[in-house]
């Protein structure tokens, strides 16, 4: 199950590499503003409108499946995080439904917009400079490399018949690999641009 989860996340990130259908600064700024506004939606209905906007972006990009994966994972994890509030273990000031709606709508609009612009089109249109630009450009590559490493490690542990705790211990291996991979990517990028 862990392997399938990581494969799905890696597939969704790979969709950001596709050729952009829209690449301009006003759209990228609209995307940033919409994501921030969805994160602070005052009601569930406004959050639902942002969710629909994200779906519209994904449909325009013809990439509804990766959008749906991200929306599902954001729903699952935000629901898991808000479970104590839903069970009454937190003060009444918290509204778990609004928290989940904000999280899912922000993920929806950000993912739909990025599928429409493509990751590199988004970064280029914001005209970022220096280290910040390099960091943003390398992010999808890092996520995909770490995801592929996690799939390999989880498959090896499952093949050896190790229990669930051993699979959870693979997270440490993946983090170490991710740090090493990030250093290697940065060094290669700096060598290429120097």
Q: To the nearest whole number, what is the mean pLDDT of the chain? A: 78
- Give the list of residues 6+ apart from residue 118 with CB closer than 8 angstroms, or none: 16, 17, 18, 19, 20, 23
> What number of other Cβ atoms are within 10 A of residue 87's Cβ?
9
Tokens of 143: 């996520």
Place of tokens 């929806």: 108
pLDDT at 169: 65
**Single pTM value for the model:** 0.68
Average pLDDT estimate for 161-177:
65
pLDDT band of 36, cuts 50, 70, 90? very high
pLDDT at 81: 86
Phi, psi of 168 (to 5 degrees): -65, -35
pLDDT in tens, 74-119: 899 888 888 887 777 777 677 888 889 999 999 999 988 888 888 7
Reply yes or no on whether the pLDDT at 178 is more than 80.
Answer: no
User: Over the range 127-146, which residues count as b (16 or more CB within 10 Å of their CB) and which as e?
Assistant: eeeeeeebebbbebbbbbbb
Maximum average pLDDT range among 7-11, 44-48, 66-70, 117-121: 44-48
């Amino acid at each position: 199950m862990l392997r399938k989860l990581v494969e799905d996340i890696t597939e969704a990130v790979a969709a950001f590499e596709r050729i952009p259908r829209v690449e301009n600064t006003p759209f990228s700024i609209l995307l940033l503003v919409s994501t921030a506004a969805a994160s602070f939606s005052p009601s569930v209905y406004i959050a639902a409108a942002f969710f629909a906007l994200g779906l519209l972006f994904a449909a325009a990009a013809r990439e509804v499946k990766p959008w749906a994966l991200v929306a599902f994972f954001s729903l699952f994890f935000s629901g898991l995080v808000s479970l104590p509030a839903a069970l009454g273990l937190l003060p009444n000031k918290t509204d778990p439904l609004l928290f989940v709606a904000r999280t899912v709508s922000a993920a929806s609009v950000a993912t739909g917009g990025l599928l429409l612009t493509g990751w590199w089109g988004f970064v280029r249109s914001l005209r970022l400079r220096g280290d910040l630009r390099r960091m943003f450009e390398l992010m999808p590559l890092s996520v995909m490399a770490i995801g592929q490493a996690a799939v390999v490690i989880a498959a090896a542990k499952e093949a050896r018949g190790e229990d669930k705790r051993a699979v959870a211990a693979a997270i440490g291996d993946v983090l170490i690999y991710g740090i090493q991979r990030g250093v290697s990517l940065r060094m290669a990028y700096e060598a290429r641009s120097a």
